[in-house]
Amino acid sequence: MIFIKSKLFTLGFVLILEVNFNYIYHTLKRRLLYHYHKYFSILIAGIFTFQISAQDFHFSQMKFTPMNVNPSLAGLSGKYNAIAIYRTQWNSVASPYTTLGASFDANLNSPSNRKGFLAGGLNFYHDLAGDLKMTSSNVNFNIAYHLRLNRNSTLGLGVQIGYAQRGLGQVKGYFASQYDGNDFDQSISSGENFGSRNTGYVDVGTGIVFKHNSLRKGTFNANGFMFTAGLAAYHLTRPSYSFIQGGNDDLFIRYSAFVETEFRLDNASFTLLPAVYYQRQGSHQEILFGAYVKYYFIESTNKTNMRNDFSLGYGAFYRFGDAFVNKLLLDFSSYAVGIAYDINISSLTQASKGRGGVEFMFRYYFDESLQRRIR
């Protein structure tokens, strides 16, 4: 009887232990999963926020951020050129990252000058990144001189001088020192000495661009070829962007290279516009390449006295190791509207569900040389 009771007691003890173990296991599992889901987005946001703090912002429609690609592109697209662009990304991961940009450039004397022409431009960008609400604002003045090599070719040299400011909103990030063994407690000091939530610096860049344009437009005599290529360097003074007192975080020089081309077969109603863009900053690099196919429904001719082009273009691009980019471009008269959508294929795909970013662009331009030619 005692033996049976002893066995029953042992069995009961084992069952209690097993029940308690299962309870503890599932409780820990639920808690770990809860914290995993809760802080995974914060971790991703933190990684990308601090990565962006060390790198410049980027756009998928790089053709329409000319002076961010090369200061020498000021004045190269027409007499006047005004662009507004907006990008938002990572909405499915954490707080979205948004970037707003605007630029205006113009020829300061006639592009038909036999020796060359002077051009100037202004560009502005504002970036808001992640849960830390890190902001970055840049205002830049660009000046370029385009030397005319022959009737169809120019060589331009440009300089960019600007001022940039970076700031932190209300700091919502979590630091290791704020973990109390149970949870992250923001009432605990992070131990980080933020000297200021704002920092500013003067910035300098330069670039060189070669352009050859033998394109002929018109309903009955369209043909030709256009080639534009350039090299540029930004942050030549290696300014510091640190928020920490005594910090030594200097911006790496950003190197930029690009090639844009346009092909037009004799009297064809469409053009092909292949392009490749390369940027490197420190250990980070970006390669974007692809092509637009543009179809002309209406095109200016020598019988009109105004620009009345109407075309629709589709672009397929690939950002190496990161995303496929689909683009649409609508041109009408002196206006253009563009949209780009990134399909993410990087290691973040599980979190982003393939949704990278969406981008909108509006452009107004006036080409004096075209007006003169069609009159």
Using DSSP, state whether 6 is helix, strand or coil: helix
Q: Output the domain CATH number for residue 177.
A: 2.40.160.40
Residue type, 179: Y
CA distance 118 to 210: 15
pLDDT 10s digits, 182-196: 776 666 666 565 555
Using DSSP, state whether 52 is helix, strand or coil: helix
Q: Which residues contact 348 (CB under 8 A, 6 or more apart)?
A: 44, 93
Residue in 90, 85, 186, 164 with CA at minimum distance from that of residue 129: 90
Q: Is the Cβ–Cβ distance between 121 and 104 less than 8 Å?
A: yes
Query: Partners of 275 in the beta sheet?
Result: 260, 290
Per-residue model confidence (pLDDT) at position 4: 40
User: What is the mean predicted confidence (pLDDT) over 13-35?
Assistant: 43
Q: Is the Cβ–Cβ distance between 200 and 216 less than 8 Å?
A: no
Domain count, the chain: 1
Tell me how crowded residue 180 is: count the other CB atoms within 10 A of its CB: 10
Using DSSP, state whether 36 is helix, strand or coil: helix
Per-residue model confidence (pLDDT) at position 305: 47
pLDDT for 20 beyond 70: no
Q: Which residue has the higher pLDDT, 18 or 187?
A: 187
pLDDT 10s digits, 284-320: 999 999 999 999 888 765 455 456 789 999 999 999 9
User: What is the mean predicted confidence (pLDDT) over 228-237?
Assistant: 97
| CA geometry: angle 50, 54, 59, nearest 5 deg | 95
Residue in 40, 352, 51, 53 with CA at minimum distance from that of residue 174: 40
Of the pLDDT bands very low, low, confident and very high (cuts 50, 70, 90), residue 131 is low
Q: Is the Cβ–Cβ distance between 274 and 316 less than 8 Å?
A: no
What are the b/e assignments for 73-85, b being 16+ CB within 10 Å? bbbbbbbbbebbb
CA distance 92 to 50: 19
Query: Partners of 166 in the beta sheet?
Result: 136, 199
User: What is the mean predicted confidence (pLDDT) over 47-59?
Assistant: 55
Residue type, 65: T
pLDDT for 28 beyond 50: no
Question: Domain range holding 66?
Answer: 2-374
pLDDT for 27 beyond 60: no
Per-residue model confidence (pLDDT) at position 375: 35
Query: Partners of 156 in the beta sheet?
Result: 146, 209
Model confidence pTM above 0.85: no
Of the pLDDT bands very low, low, confident and very high (cuts 50, 70, 90), residue 178 is low
